[in-house]
Amino acid sequence: GAVVSQHPSWVICKSGTSVKIECRSLDFQATTMFWYRQFPKQSLMLMATSNEGSKATYEQGVEKDKFLINHASLTLSTLTVTSAHPEDSSFYICSARDLVEGLNSYNEQFFGPGTRLTVL
């Protein structure tokens, strides 16, 4: 159980275009989803936290107008990178958490497989 999928697994796009990444919890309801970015040889950097039905909370330095996050249902969150530029090329990883007792009594985050974005 507790599987999280991401789509696409990799994407190459031209500078100035927008890219949408989907994150789905397949067998549980994710009340909270997290979006991370990871540059080569660096650790995970939390970009934003989103709770179903409410606006995402962005970390300092992350532009909310550039990285649009929607968490419209308990199983789906999307991250849209608008007007992408080469410096946005990175590995984007989502994770999901459910606070229902029994499934996730210690608030573990379940990670998706990641999306590698390359902006030309």
Partner 1 sequence: GQNIDQPTEMTATEGAIVQINCTYQTSGFNGLFWYQQHAGEAPTFLSYNVLDGLEEKGRFSSFLSRSKGYSYLLLKELQMKDSASYLCAASDSNYQLIWGAGTKLIIKP
Residues near 114 by beta carbon (within 8 Å), at least 6 away in sequence: 6, 9, 38, 91, 92, 93
With contacts defined by CB under 8 A, name the span among 20-28, 66-74, 77-85, 109-117 that binds partner 1: 109-117
Residues in 41-100 that interact with partner 1 by CB under 8 A:
42-44, 46, 49, 91, 93, 97
Does residue 7 touch partner 1 according to CB under 8 A?
no
Neighbour tally for 69: CB within 10 Å: 23
Token pair of 56 as six digits? 């995402």
Q: How far is the CB of 68 from partner 1 (least distance, A)?
A: 21
Does residue 15 touch partner 1 according to CB under 8 A?
no
Compute the distance between CA of residue 13 and CA of residue 80 in angstroms, rounded to an integer. Answer: 13
Token pair of 34 as six digits? 């997290």
Does residue 110 touch partner 1 according to CB under 8 A?
yes
Enumerate binding residues for partner 1 (CB under 8 A): 34, 42-44, 46, 49, 91, 93, 97, 106-114, 116
